[in-house]
Amino acid sequence: MQGAASGGGCPAPAPPRLSGQSARRYLGQLDDAEFERALQELQLTRSIWTIDLAYLMRRFGVRHRFCTRTLGVDKGYKNQSFYRKHFDTEETRVNQLFAQAKSCKVLVEKWVSVQDIQAHLAQGHVAIVLVNSGVLRCDACSRPPKYCCFTPGGPRCFCRSPDYQGHFIVLRGYSRAAGCIFYNNPAYADPGMCSASISNFEEARTSYGTDEDILFVYVDS
């Protein structure tokens, strides 16, 4: 649920110009000052959860659908190093966002399959997915990524770690014939196109800690 925080009350809608910082290059530009104002209004901090991105998209009128396996905070994450630092202060806030999502017109649904993702991408849309960066492997990287480990199997976008490391990526498409999925990694200052096998992508997005969070973003918004 956490990738890289907002308070009570529903954010007012604004002109449809943005999907969130990770996907805005695909959906149009947003003035930096306007974006910063939105972050302040939503009280977003350095602890960003997927539900925060859903509220941010709603704030800018971007059509999207948020799917997850857990409608709230999994208490088991309290013992994970990635979540431990902010868990106690974030649990109540994040659960409140889920509780008021319907009244704030933030669409939240449970679960999604890889077939749902492929169907969405096939229509020319994009998706923001929370993955375990220690598991995800880019098979297309010919340059050293920002955070890279060279392994016998080739370079990885991030070093494999026994601990969960949440990270958002932007899905762009897939190849059924090649059995791979294409994505951009916001860890790059100028992200090129990365690709991962469907099986590796599924392992990364379904790792314990992700809640299998995904934001389906519609480019016609």
Model confidence, pTM: 0.76
CATH number at 28 reads: 3.90.70
Residue 81 pLDDT grade (very low, low, confident, very high; cuts 50, 70, 90): low
Measured between alpha carbons, how far is 218 from 58 in angstroms, rounded to an integer? Answer: 12
Q: Is the pLDDT of residue 58 over 80?
A: yes
Is 157 inside any structural domain? no
Is 15 inside any structural domain? no
What is the pLDDT at residue 142?
A: 54
Q: Is the pLDDT of residue 6 over 80?
A: no
Is 8 inside any structural domain? no
Q: Is the pLDDT of residue 8 over 60?
A: no
Residue 92 pLDDT grade (very low, low, confident, very high; cuts 50, 70, 90): confident
What is the pLDDT at residue 15?
A: 29
Q: Is the pLDDT of residue 56 over 80?
A: yes
Q: What are 132-142's pLDDT values in tens digits?
A: 988 898 887 75
Measured between alpha carbons, how far is 22 from 67 in angstroms, rounded to an integer? Answer: 17
Query: Per-residue DSSP letters for 99-116?
Result: HTTTTTT--EEE---HHH
What is the pLDDT at residue 91?
A: 79
Residue 144 pLDDT grade (very low, low, confident, very high; cuts 50, 70, 90): very low
What is the pLDDT at residue 23?
A: 47
Is 95 inside any structural domain? yes
Q: What are 175-206's pLDDT values in tens digits?
A: 999 999 999 888 766 667 899 999 999 999 99
Specify the higher pLDDT residue, 148 or 179: 179
Instruction: Name the one residue in this structure whose structure tokens are 């709603």.
Output: 58
What is the pLDDT at residue 19?
A: 35
What is the pLDDT at residue 138?
A: 87
Measured between alpha carbons, how far is 22 from 9 in angstroms, rounded to an integer? Answer: 24
Mean pLDDT for the stretch of residues 2-29: 41
Is 192 inside any structural domain? yes
SS3 label, residue 193 = strand
**Residue from 180, 185, 159 nearest 170 by CA:** 185
What is the pLDDT at residue 180?
A: 94
Q: Is the pLDDT of residue 13 over 50?
A: no
Domain extent, residue 208, equals: 20-143+164-217
Residue 209 pLDDT grade (very low, low, confident, very high; cuts 50, 70, 90): confident
Q: What are 61-73's pLDDT values in tens digits?
A: 889 999 998 887 7
Say if residues 3 and 185 touch (Cβ distance below 8 Å): no
Split into its structural domains, the chain has a count of 1
